[in-house]
Every structure is written in structure tokens, then in C-alpha cells.
Amino acid sequence: MWDELKAQATALQAGNIRDLFADAGRAADFAVDFDGMLFDYSKTYLTADARAALIALAEAREVPGRRAAMFSGEKINETEGRAVLHTALRNLSGEPALVDGADVMPEILATLGRMSTFADNVRGGRFTGAGGAITDVVNIGIGGSHLGPAMGTLALAPYHDGPRCHFVSNVDGADITDTLKGLDPARTLVIVASKTFTTIETITNAKTAKTWMAEVVDHPGAQFVALSTAEEETSAFGIAPERVFGFEDWVGGRYSMWGPIGLSLMLAIGPARFREFLAGAKAMDRHFRDAPLDQNMPVMLALVGMWHHQVCGHPTRAVLPYDQRLSRLAAYFQQLEMESNGKRVTMAGEPVDGASGPVVWGEPGTNGQHAFYQLIHQGTQVVPCEFMVAARGHEPDLAHHHTLLVANCLAQSEALMRGRSLDEARQLMAAKGLEGEELERQARHRVFPGNRPSTTLIYDQLTPRRLGQIIALYEHRVFVEGVILGINSFDQWGVELGKVLATQLEPLLTGAAGVSEKDGSTRQLINFVRDTKG
Ligand SMILES: O=P(O)(O)OC[C@H]1O[C@](O)(CO)[C@@H](O)[C@@H]1O
């Protein structure tokens, strides 16, 4: 399916992105504008013909039909026999959303209402701990039950007016120890966030938190909340039903921050702003559902991504938000993209045609500039960069910081595209007084090949609504890429084997079972641990 596109890409990569701007309309033509956000993909090798071929591919792979199937509650997660309806969690209008013929909206809106009342009570000091009003909230969860609320809570720090929120995810005892240190158990609310309520990391941390609280509080369970689909498990843990906020199995873990899993974010910013966050996502859902493919932001973000990875063969992509508060965004996208599309077989169980999803990584600018941008500019691998920046910050007194931040972001995409030729480097060295062989030698180190693709997503300000739009934009991008690859983006069997082996290994480490069945390397490592820990 990729051969024709690959031939086009090879020809285009031999040219120069900069030359494509001879067409004065390129910048506007290779951009999608939606509701205060602009996605500029003009600094790529894409031409109108290549774009048309990608759109034809999306149509041939039935992206519009699969999209309709998702929104209508069909069981498109075929390996688990589930619908995929996280979009219903942000459907504030209550317009019916059907699963097996039943409208799921009344239940969703009722849960949102319960969450809002609970959050208002905590924030207003009406729900208290044994020692008075809640000052701190600890969300215990991992993966989709951690990354979304942790990323979102940090992203929306300017809107915090609730209790302090902390996040524990790692089973490493260091995580919970460092988090609980200094907190008052009598004024702390613990949220146990786990869709299945069986995840070993989360349950281990939750038990540790309960023991910590029980040292000071008579009824620690009263300061625990559960966010889960598993009622039996939450009640076995001792959390009363009125503090359990449930959701259904058609909400995937990495798509779940819009519902109960977002409770810590709601506690931090309040129910009204949480609804703005949902409304932003909802606006993106409508745009994704209704806009023509070439003016559809998630579709174009997906097609540009596939152009770079599956067609041009660039193995990774960097997510580079110029926003310190988005410093967990790359981690969030890593789960969203790599757990969704890192699969080697299609829905039908056949090998994927070509590469599956790319490696996604990144750091906020400008920090990354002083770390790995060297490789992005002069290394031998091309890393397509996805820049992101707000025109306006949240610190009016520090507007000069923000101007500098934006200038750096725009400078990077410009530098990646234009590069610096050997002649330009020579002139630079001559201006520094070098000549002869030394000038030649030094000039070579100062050449930037340029012609390196990037996209930029620019928006007014990182408000709750804008964050909702951005996350929904990437969710739908992942969906489109998955449909084109024929992958089921909504299961995650690849995380199972490690979990099974870890369970088997635990007694081996404690010495309760023998190591003879293990391979030589694993045996050696186990013996090292046994000998060392005493
Ligand atoms: O919410 P749970 O059930 O604890 O699962 C946590 C995470 O574990 C996974 O199942 C696998 O890593 C993720 O998909 C999920 O987000």
C-alpha cells in the first residue's frame, strides 16, 4: 500500500522544503485552522499531489466509515469485544450515545454530577478528613489512570484553586514514600484510580497508603475514593459505594481522563473548568466527525505523521511543547500513541504492512534545545518534530519570557528547514578571522543540512478548553493512524507477558522458590539480588 507514496517521497526528499515556499500560498494551503488553533504542516516535504494521495489512502482504508462506527458505539475494539466511546464522556449536551442499543448518556451525566458534587464538597471544606478540611489529594494509579490527570493537573496549574494534588504511580516504594512525606494523613484524600482495580502497582501503593493513614486516622477507608469499573474489588478494598466513581469497559485506560479518572484534575481546578476541558474535547470531536478530510485537523496530523514514519521511514517523532507546564505531555502521548498503535498484527491477525506506530518522545522547549537538539539538527537521523506553543502565557508580568519562548520555538522550525550551507559556514568562519585549512575544517562542523521537517501547533493560550482540544486532537490522530494500518488501537496485549513473568519472579527473588527453570542470565541476576540484599 505504501510503494507509490514511497516513490513520491524519495523524489520530494531529494528536493528542498524551502523551495516549496516559492508558492506564495503554501503556508496557508498546508495548514488547518480550527477554533483558535492553527496546525501548520507547511515545513514538510509534502506537496499537494502527495497530500491528495494520502487522503485517497485514508478514504480507501475507510477512515470515514470507521470514524462513524466509533461514534455510533459499534464494537470496534474487536479483540476485546468492546465499543470505544470515550467521546461520550465529554458529550455534555447529552445527545444519545448507544451501546448495545442502550443510551449510556444518563449514567455518564449522573456520574459527572456526582463527581462535581463530591469535588465541590471537598473544595468547599464540607467533606473533611479526620483532622479537618482536605489540604492534599494523592492520586494512586498507573498508565492511563495516572498520566492523564498528572499531565493535565500540571498543564492547568494557573487554574488551581483546590487542594494540592500529588500523584503516585511507580511500585518503587520511593514514589509513595517521597509523596507522603510531609503530608498530614488526617487531612489527605487518597484516590485509588484503577480501571480494573487489580493492577499490582496501584493496589500495593493503595495498601501502603492505607497503612500510613491508619497510624493516625481511625477510619482510613473514609478518606479513600475509588475510580474504577470493578465494583466488587473496590468494596473488598473497603471503599464505600458513595465514594466509588465508576465507568464502563468501553472507556480505554489511556482514553479515560475525561471521566472519573479525571477526578484529581477536577478537584484541582473545579467542576466548572473541568467542564470547559470537556467542552474543548467535544468541539474537537465534532470537527473530527464533520470536517472534510483535507481540512480535518486530526486527519491531517495523522497523515503527516504517517508520511514521515511509514512513507519517509523516519523511525521516531519528537513532541516538543514550548510550555514547561506540558512537561508530562510527551509521556502522556507515549502511552496514547505507542500502547495504541505499537502492534505487529492487524485486526485480522495478519502481519502489519510495513511499520506500525513510531517511537514518540520529547521534552519541553527550551530545555530540549540544550540537550538533544544537537542530534535533531546535525545527527544522521531525521527526527520529524511536532512543535507546540501558545501565543500568550499566563504570566503577564513576565511577558518578555514568553516572547523569548515563542521566538525560540519558531526559530527551531525555521533552522531545521533552512539549515546552513557550507558556503554560509565558510563566511561565518572568515568573519571570525579564520582562513586556509583551519577555516575549511571548522566550517564543516558548522554546516546544518536543513531540509528537516516539522509541524507547529499554535494556539492563543493553554486554557482548560484548549488542553481538551489538544488531547482529543491527538486521540483522533491515533485513531486515524490505527485505521489506516488496520490495527486495533484499543487493546494492549503487549503489556501482558512482562506482568505474568513478574508475578512468577517475585517468589524467586525472596528465595521462596528455586531458580532452576530460568535462563542463565535471569538466574544470574536473581542470584545477585539474593546475595546482595542479605
Ligand atoms: O487502570 P488500571 O486497570 O489499573 O490499568 C492501568 C494501566 O495498565 C494498562 O492496562 C497496561 O499498562 C494500561 O492500559 C492501563 O492504563
The CATH code of the domain that includes 173 is 3.40.50.10490
Q: Does one domain contain both 260 and 301?
A: no
Using alpha carbons only, give the angle 86, 92, 98 rounded to the nearest 5 degrees: 50
Mutate to test the pocket of ligand 1, among 147, 168, 169, 195 (most ligand atoms within 8 A of CB): 195
Q: Does one domain contain both 280 and 355?
A: yes
Q: Does one domain contain both 395 and 318?
A: yes
| pLDDT of the residue at 513 | 78
**Residue 489, Cβ neighbours under 10 Å: how many?**
29
Question: Measured between alpha carbons, how far is 97 from 107 in angstroms, rounded to an integer?
Answer: 11
Q: Does one domain contain both 387 and 483?
A: yes
- How many whole angstroms from 198 Cα to the centroid of ligand 1? 9
Q: Does one domain contain both 330 and 462?
A: yes
**Number of domains making up the chain:** 4
Matching residue, cell 467542552? 279
Ligand 1 atom 4: residue of nearest CA: 194
199 lines ligand 1 (CB under 6 A): yes
Question: Measured between alpha carbons, how far is 90 from 76 in angstroms, rounded to an integer?
Answer: 19
Q: What is the pTM of this model?
A: 0.97
- How many whole angstroms from 203 Cα to the centroid of ligand 1? 12
Per-residue pLDDT of the chain (534 residues; tens, 9 = 90+): 789 999 999 999 999 999 999 999 999 999 999 999 999 999 999 999 999 999 999 999 999 999 999 999 999 999 999 999 999 999 999 899 999 999 999 999 999 999 999 999 999 999 999 999 999 999 999 999 999 999 999 999 999 999 999 999 999 999 999 999 999 999 999 999 999 999 999 999 999 999 999 999 999 999 999 999 898 999 999 999 999 999 999 999 999 999 999 999 999 999 999 999 999 999 999 999 999 999 999 999 999 999 999 999 999 999 999 999 999 999 999 999 999 999 999 999 999 999 999 999 999 999 999 999 999 999 999 999 999 999 999 999 999 999 999 999 999 999 999 999 999 999 999 999 999 999 999 999 999 999 999 999 999 999 999 999 999 999 999 999 999 999 999 999 999 899 888 888 988 998 877 888 899 999 999 999 999 976
Domain that holds residue 510: 495-533
Q: What are the residues whose beta carbons fall under 8 Å from the beta carbon of 459, sequence distance 6 or more?
A: 36, 37, 38, 389, 390, 391, 466, 469, 470
Q: Specify the 3-state DSSP secondary structure of 127.
A: coil
Question: Measured between alpha carbons, how far is 291 from 234 in angstroms, rounded to an integer?
Answer: 42
Q: What are the residues whose beta carbons fall under 8 Å from the beta carbon of 59, sequence distance 6 or more?
A: 293
Q: Does one domain contain both 302 and 391?
A: yes
| pLDDT of the residue at 514 | 82
145 lines ligand 1 (CB under 6 A): yes
Question: Measured between alpha carbons, how far is 163 from 266 in angstroms, rounded to an integer?
Answer: 10
User: Cα 44 from chain centroid?
Assistant: 23
Q: Does one domain contain both 142 and 265?
A: yes
Q: What are the residues whose beta carbons fall under 8 Å from the beta carbon of 40, sequence distance 6 or more?
A: 27, 30, 31, 455, 456, 457, 458
81 within a domain of the structure (yes/no)? no
18 within a domain of the structure (yes/no)? yes
For 83, which DSSP code?
-
Element containing residue 132 per DSSP (H, E): strand 132-133
Using alpha carbons only, give the angle 196, 200, 202 rounded to the nearest 5 degrees: 75
Paired strand residues for 32: 39
Residue 314 annotated to the active site: no
283 within a domain of the structure (yes/no)? yes
142 lines ligand 1 (CB under 6 A): yes
Question: Measured between alpha carbons, how far is 230 from 9 in angstroms, rounded to an integer?
Answer: 49
93 within a domain of the structure (yes/no)? no
Are 163 and 267 in contact by the 8 Å Cβ rule? The answer is yes
88 within a domain of the structure (yes/no)? no
Torsion of CA 309, 315, 320, 324, to 10 degrees: 140
Are 91 and 105 in contact by the 8 Å Cβ rule? The answer is yes
144 lines ligand 1 (CB under 6 A): yes
> 66 is written with which cell numbers?
470507521
| pLDDT of the residue at 533 | 78
489 lines ligand 1 (CB under 6 A): no
Q: Does one domain contain both 287 and 392?
A: yes
> 263 is written with which cell numbers?
477526578
136 within a domain of the structure (yes/no)? yes
Residue 517 annotated to the active site: no
381 within a domain of the structure (yes/no)? yes
Q: Specify the 3-state DSSP secondary structure of 221.
A: helix
Backbone angles phi, psi at 343, to 5 degrees: -130, 145
Closest atom of ligand 1 to 256 CA is 16
Q: Does one domain contain both 336 and 432?
A: no
Residue 86 annotated to the active site: no
For 335, which DSSP code?
I
> 121 is written with which cell numbers?
464538597
Give the largest CA-CA distance in the chain.
Answer: 81
Q: Does one domain contain both 314 and 358?
A: yes
Number of H helices, E strands in the chain: 22, 15
Element containing residue 8 per DSSP (H, E): helix 3-14
253 lines ligand 1 (CB under 6 A): yes
- How many whole angstroms from 134 Cα to the centroid of ligand 1? 28
Question: Measured between alpha carbons, how far is 297 from 253 in angstroms, rounded to an integer?
Answer: 24
- How many whole angstroms from 45 Cα to the centroid of ligand 1? 37
**124, amino acid identity:** G
Q: Does one domain contain both 209 and 324?
A: no
Question: Measured between alpha carbons, how far is 168 from 178 in angstroms, rounded to an integer?
Answer: 9
Q: Does one domain contain both 408 and 509?
A: no
Q: State the CATH number of the domain containing residue 499.
A: 1.10.1390
CA distances from 292 to 91, 286, 366 (A): 22, 12, 35
Q: What are the residues whose beta carbons fall under 8 Å from the beta carbon of 39, sequence distance 6 or more?
A: 31, 32, 33, 297, 300, 301, 455, 456, 457
Are 518 and 508 in contact by the 8 Å Cβ rule? The answer is yes
- Count how many residues are written for the chain: 534
432 within a domain of the structure (yes/no)? yes
Annotated active-site residue in 339, 386, 475, 481: 339
Backbone angles phi, psi at 510, to 5 degrees: -80, -5
Q: What are the residues whose beta carbons fall under 8 Å from the beta carbon of 10, sequence distance 6 or more?
A: none
Backbone angles phi, psi at 466, to 5 degrees: -65, -40
229 lines ligand 1 (CB under 6 A): no
